[in-house]
Structure 1
Amino acid sequence: MSVVNNVSRRVLLHSKNLVLSTRCVSSSTNLKEVLEQKVPETQADVKEFRKQHGSKVVGEVQVDMMYGGMRGIKGLVTETSVLDPDEGIRFRGYTIPECQEKLPKAPGGAEPLPEGLFWLLVTGDIPTEDQVKALSNEWAKRAAIPSHVVQMLNNFPTTLHPMSQFSAAIVALNSESKFAEAYSKGVHKSKYWEFAYEDGMNLIAKLPTVAATIYRNLYREGSSVCPINTDLDWSANFSAMLGYDDKDFVDLLRLYLFLHSDHEGGNVSAHATHLIGSALSDPYLSFAGGMNGLAGPLHGLANQEVLVWISKLRETLGGDVSDDQLKEFIWNTLQSGQVVPGFGHAVLRKTDPRYVAQREFALKHMPEDPLFKLTSQLYKVVPDILLKQGKAKNPWPNVDAHSGVILWHYGLTEMNYYTVMFGVSRALGTMASLIWDRALGFPLERPKSMSTEGLKKLVGAS
């Protein structure tokens, strides 16, 4: 085993031990109190680790990595989740099925509550039902948005994309920033995490209200958003504000918000939020930047593109499609220079576990849905074609292959809105990470860039 691999293994073992060390479970239902215990312990652990191993080499950077979007470069520390190419995502060490089993559920619900995942992402601990209930209640109490944000949303033209409205509203919420206020007063940097926590909690609490207001304005003739019910969980309140009361849809929303929450630190929305936050921009401004990245077709907009492509497929081939017809359509798609949306992933080299979780939900609740059946047929046909084509490193479906299809089944057919729901979810992971970025004192992020001429000289090519 090489020196680089040995060092990488030691770093991974340290990360595993760090996760385990944070699992001294507290019975307190106040998340901030739990953090106040964990932050000093983790700060000391990281400080000692850097003192002992700060000069060790973790990996090598190749020229292709620099030109290829920094793929594979180990250059970030993100405690909340780790994405393994072959295994998939782990949230603080737990797989998706383990989280589905261990995290608390709402009474009568079958899917984990996103509040429980947020507690896990922040603390490393599986929360109790009382802790999750307390978090639901706290978010409900923080959910109101200021009148100037409501007025701004109501004045937006209906032609403005939902994600543009969402991002603008988040920037406007910066007026409520406790972090910005504390920084302007000269608070000591050791206290930064406390105000990042307050902003993160407020932001997560308010996003469903913002998102529901956008939805009502665009698709429900500006009808009023119903009041927050402090007896309901975060997802149930979001569903009610959207105008959906089907209990299966509420459980789907819990699953959706759970699955889209975090995908380690290198994806565009997570990295952008972290990067902007490193300039000590407050969590509202940081998250708004992440949402502008999420709006791109190579990131959060992909679930919409999958549904558009499947709809085009059905229009072209009709209702009942044979495997041979499907294969011909896919080959034509590829030969025209397009991709098959919903398949492949920048990191994963297997079927996305998030896809599997959604597929299991669909098999349970909507097995005869025509779009779901077509999605299942694509799952059977597409990977072999992509392997034969020889260009895809990962021919398997990702999370976007299913999410839009399931939302469509329950009547939420406004595809432009899907990425807003993704954004509500992504706040969980990015805010958990941002709290720890400030707690661990991460500095301004400023990697060194090089010119092509400089690289040529470095490798002896000129």
Structure 2
Amino acid sequence: MARSVYSEITPEMEALANLCVKNGKIDPELYAKYDVKRGLRDINGNGVLTGLTDISEIRSSRMENGVKIPCEGQLFYRGYSIEDLVRSMPSDHSFGFEVTAYLLLFGELPNKEQLDGFIKQLSFYRTLPTNFVRDIIMKAPSGDMMNTLARSVLTMYSYDDTPDDISIPNVLRQCIQLIAIFPLLSVYGYQAYRHYHDGKSLYIHQPKPELTTAENILRILRSDKQFTPLEAKVLDIALMLHAEHGGGNNSTFTTHVVSSSGTDTYSAIAAALGSLKGPKHGGANIKVVRMFRDMKEQVKDWTNENEICDYLTRLLDKKAFDNAGLIYGMGHAVYSVSDPRARIMERFAEGLSKEKGREDEYGLYMRVARLAPQVIAEKRRIYKGVSANVDFYSGFIYSMLDLPMELYTPIFACARIAGWSAHRIEELINAGKIIRPAYKAIHPERAFPGMEGET
């Protein structure tokens, strides 16, 4: 009863909210008048240059005779192509994510001895403080696992003897520990939620030190702790692809902004988690899965391209699914011709769909990936090409792995914590000024009115 009172929106609150909207609305024409780069992007969607990084690079175009030409998207981690990195991993029992995390943190590929040592460090830290699950994760479980994850990260501050020490050795220690425990915080948070809210059986499995991060996620999530080699491999690849994506994506830029203030690691990472939670960022693949659920109900023949195009057109006309006018999973802020992560995901989605007996659904995804850009080009005026992005396939892959939708974004975070950590350390090493962009005030100055009762 008490919680409903706190959540209630009263008529008084509605009135105050209307006042906020009335006095908070800014004339859109003023953004053009003052040349404001909304979203730190220009009119063509290109990001405003705000910093330098040596961690990763995104390429979506090339210069020919002084002209910018769109090209197949490429992603580089510390100079290495993500496609080469994925291709170099063995076919089974791959520590691909661990290799990726080492590369992002230290700037070079590990040899066998270095990788073994790094894996041992992760295994050593892959444990939670005594009674942490009981006292923190089990108490007041949230309906959103990202909030549970953020709360747990902030609470880890209390278990750290030197939480505010931002020397590189200490921050590195904190970051490796967070990389190690993110899967535990995420999955245990989900187990607590499904037990207390859904009445399901509660089981807390311990990770095994010899298993990869991907294998341990599947092990501690499933009641029987079982998984196939292909399932573990595909999840490992997904973690590699989501580990990093440049300094300008919203959550990584948040990491830079918050780290530039000199705050502690737990506060910086919790802020990044808050950013990633947003449906425009880490929650996008959930929208894709839900859109396809609706599509599979509305489109009777999944092989009929005319029927598919009709549904896609209704999406853009705000007459289908959530009436937002969007085809989720299509288009990207940087990539136009293709998203390299999506190309890789597509290949592994095909193999997993065969193992899971979902080839028909995979076929539907492939038809939408091909037809959607055509429909968008016909219906919308666009400045650059549109193609399927990584979220288009990741949600489908997660569903085939039987991951609950509540964990889609936390799994993203389990990967991206490696990139956030690398960027936090880079920000602290280079110790620039606190990040403080400008906002122009547009309200005219006003004389303060006399108070009631003044003489």
- Return the TM-score normalized by structure 1: 0.77
SS in 1 for 2:138: helix
Q: Distance in 2 between matches of 1:83 and 1:453?
A: 39
Question: Match for 2:163: what amino acid?
Answer: A
Structure 1 stretches lacking a partner, 5+ long: 1-60, 184-191, 455-462
Aligned counterpart, 2:138: 154
Matches within 5 A, 1:59-458: 64=35, 66-70=37-41, 71-86=46-61, 87-102=73-88, 104-105=89-90, 108-109=92-93, 113-147=96-130, 149-150=132-133, 151-157=135-141, 160-177=143-160, 180-182=163-165, 192-219=167-194, 221=200, 223-243=202-222, 244-318=226-300, 320-336=302-318, 337-367=324-354, 368-392=358-382, 393-412=384-403, 414-451=404-441
Residues 312, 372 of structure 2: 8 Å contact kept: yes
Change (3 A) 1:123 1:182: closer
Change (3 A) 1:74 1:130: same
SS in 2 for 1:88: strand
Change (3 A) 1:140 1:441: same
Q: Distance in 2 between matches of 1:360 and 1:275?
A: 36
Instruction: Provide the identity percentage.
Output: 22
SS in 1 for 2:57: strand
Question: Match for 1:121: what amino acid?
Answer: L
Question: Match for 2:176: what amino acid?
Answer: M
Q: Distance in 1 between matches of 2:189 and 2:327?
A: 30
Q: Distance in 2 between matches of 1:318 and 1:139?
A: 48
Change (3 A) 1:222 1:358: same
Q: Distance in 2 between matches of 1:168 and 1:430?
A: 17
Question: Match for 1:432: what amino acid?
Answer: A
Structure 2 stretches lacking a partner, 5+ long: 1-31, 62-72, 319-323, 445-455
Superposition deviation, residue 383 in structure 1? 0.9
SS in 2 for 1:285: helix
Q: Distance in 2 between matches of 1:263 and 1:172?
A: 27
Change (3 A) 1:304 1:451: same
Superposition deviation, residue 222 in structure 1? 5.3
- Structure with a larger share of its residues in helix: 1
Q: Distance in 2 between matches of 1:387 and 1:290?
A: 34
Q: Distance in 2 between matches of 1:138 and 1:62?
A: 54
Q: Distance in 1 between matches of 2:120 and 2:163?
A: 25
Q: Which moved more, 1:76-85 or 1:350-359?
A: 76-85
Q: Distance in 2 between matches of 1:319 and 1:215?
A: 36
Residues 196, 435 of structure 1: 8 Å contact kept: yes
- Return the TM-score normalized by structure 2: 0.78
SS in 1 for 2:248: coil
SS in 1 for 2:75: strand
1:391-423 deviation per Cα after TM superposition (whole angstroms, max 9, x unaligned)? 3433101000001111111222x2122001001
Residues 351, 396 of structure 1: 8 Å contact kept: yes
Residues 156, 165 of structure 1: 8 Å contact kept: no
Change (3 A) 1:214 1:370: farther
Residues 88, 352 of structure 1: 8 Å contact kept: yes
Superposition deviation, residue 77 in structure 1? 1.9
Kindly name which structure, 1 or 2, has the bigger radius of gyration based on alpha carbons.
2
Change (3 A) 1:445 1:374: same
The number of aligned residues is: 381
SS in 2 for 1:266: coil
Superposition deviation, residue 146 in structure 1? 2.1
Superposition deviation, residue 444 in structure 1? 1.7
Residues 264, 270 of structure 1: 8 Å contact kept: yes
Superposition deviation, residue 178 in structure 1? 5.9
Residues 79, 433 of structure 1: 8 Å contact kept: no
RMSD across aligned C-alpha pairs, in angstroms? 2.3
Q: Distance in 2 between matches of 1:421 and 1:123?
A: 23
SS in 2 for 1:85: strand
Change (3 A) 1:166 1:381: same
